[in-house]
Chains A and B, each alone.
Chain A
Amino acid sequence: MSEERNLRLVQPEEGANIDALLVRVARGDSRAFDALYDAVAASVYGLARRVVRDPTRAEDVTQEVLLEVWRKAARFDRDRGNAKSWILTIAHRRAVDAVRRSESQKRQDHHGAPDEVSHDSPADAVLEADEHGTVRDCMDTLTDLQLESVRLAYFNGYTYSEVATLLEKPLPTIKTRMRDGLIRLRDCLEGAQ
């Protein structure tokens, strides 16, 4: 197993832990930033890889995201959500921007399965599998068109107009399916907690 494939630990208190680290990062604590990197880098890089595909560009996106988190840590508003969502929202936007900046770049036709991952220890693997299983189960509750719309936009970085063209559906349909799909995902994830 290559070390680069190792997934970071995902622990039950992970969310709270990241929130607490971000508070310290906001005060300029570089050790907290070091720990925050360990806690989120795999999620950020994994998402960036999935969207931009190219490993080198995914590294650049990861760096941009972590630096934005460092810069804006003091502006993060805990009343508006958890730190990990905030960081992954930044990661997604940056990854999509990177894809759209190079319009000439040939998009790959197939977006295959994510890289196989390995785990640091069986206990971590179980916890992580729990979360992944929950998310995948919830994704399965979406209709085919909802899921396809959300996936093409989120993981391939397409705009909803591009998704509508690809799926040969009217724009308002895709717009609605995207929102309905995300609402269903949200409700399912909330119910599963």
Chain B
Amino acid sequence: MNTDLHTLSGAYAIDALSREEAERFKTHLDACPSCAQEVRELQAAAARMGAIEGTAPPAYLKARVMQAADREPQLPPTVRHPGGVRSSTRPAWFPRLMVAAAVALLVAAAGIGYSQLRGENAPESQLASGVVRVFDAPDAHEATIPTANGGTVTVATSPSLNRMAVDTEGLPDLDEGQVYQLWEITDDAIASAGLLSDPDAGAAMPMPAEGAEVAISVEPAGGSEQPTTEPIMTVTASEV
């Protein structure tokens, strides 16, 4: 185990890493069960420290939360397949993504389906429209995520619009003959959500389906039916 990385377990356990460092450390945790165990133990100790601050919230908050929960669908449990049998249609990196998602409990929040964009021929104009509207929504949440190829993507979600948008201006330029492609990954399938032929324009889409991850990969010009390279970033609505 990398000593330097290992000492970050304390800072990670109490959310004292920058987002980029936390992402990197999370990747490390997926490959290091003893580190993950240590993080859980330190989080439990910190939780007991946090719990001594108890103060009752105002009484009206309970009704607000109950009403909101009443409108909120729940995520299904993660079903573990013993023996690691996987569908042959999935690329090699797919199971690792799912493990990462389960470990970090970061699977997407609910939303309406993705049906408008499902299938490989989503019109690009549709993707490129409405990006600003999502970023400017009063309830927009934003997160900037570093990509594996040295760029950044800023993702915004708006529950009121029920849409997600990505600002992809921070992505490095690709060689001629390559294109960024957006994917929706669920437990069952990977579906193209369209091509980013003009990364400066970004993309907007309906909120990803429940449990889905959105990923970006570099594909040959014209796009692919299924990803042919490891994604440069993945995100779920709940991470934003």
Contacts and interface: CB of A to CB of B under 8 A. Distances in A.
Interface of A: 3-8, 10, 26, 28, 30, 33-34, 37-38, 41-43, 45-47, 49-50, 55, 58-59, 62-63, 66-68, 70-76, 80-82, 84-85, 88-89, 91-93, 96, 101, 114-115, 117, 131-132, 135-136, 139, 150, 153-155, 157-161, 163, 172, 175-176, 178-183, 185-186, 189
Interface of B: 7-11, 13-18, 40-59, 61-62, 64-66, 68-70, 72-78, 102, 105, 107, 109-110, 141-142, 238
A183 B40 CA distance: 11
Given A154-B46, A182-B46, A7 B14 contact: no
A43 B54 CA distance: 4
A46 B55 contact: yes
A180 B51 contact: no
Given A6-B56, A37-B65, A155-B53, 11 more contacts: A8-B56, A63-B65, A71-B238, A72-B74, A72-B75, A82-B44, A88-B47, A150-B49, A154-B46, A172-B7, A175-B10
Nearest to A151: B49
The 6 closest A-B pairs by CB, nearest first: A179-B10, A88-B47, A153-B16, A45-B57, A186-B45, A46-B55
Contacts of B44: 81-82, 85, 186
A30 B15 contact: no
A89 B53 CA distance: 14
Contact of B56 (A28, A45, A186): A45
A43 B56 CA distance: 8
B54 A42 contact: yes
B7 A4 contact: no
Contact of B49 (A3, A66, A75, A185): A185
Given A70-B74, A175-B10, A62 B56 contact: no
A84 B46 CA distance: 11
A81 B17 CA distance: 22
Contact of B75 (A42, A71, A89): A71
B48 A159 contact: no
A38 B8 CA distance: 34
B94 to A, nearest CB: 19
Contacts of B61: 41, 45, 59, 62-63
A183 B10 contact: yes
A30 B74 contact: no
Contacts of A30: 66, 69-70
Contact of A159 (B16, B64, B76): B16
Contact of A178 (B10, B76, B77, B142): B10
Contacts of A70: 69, 72, 74
Nearest to A115: B55
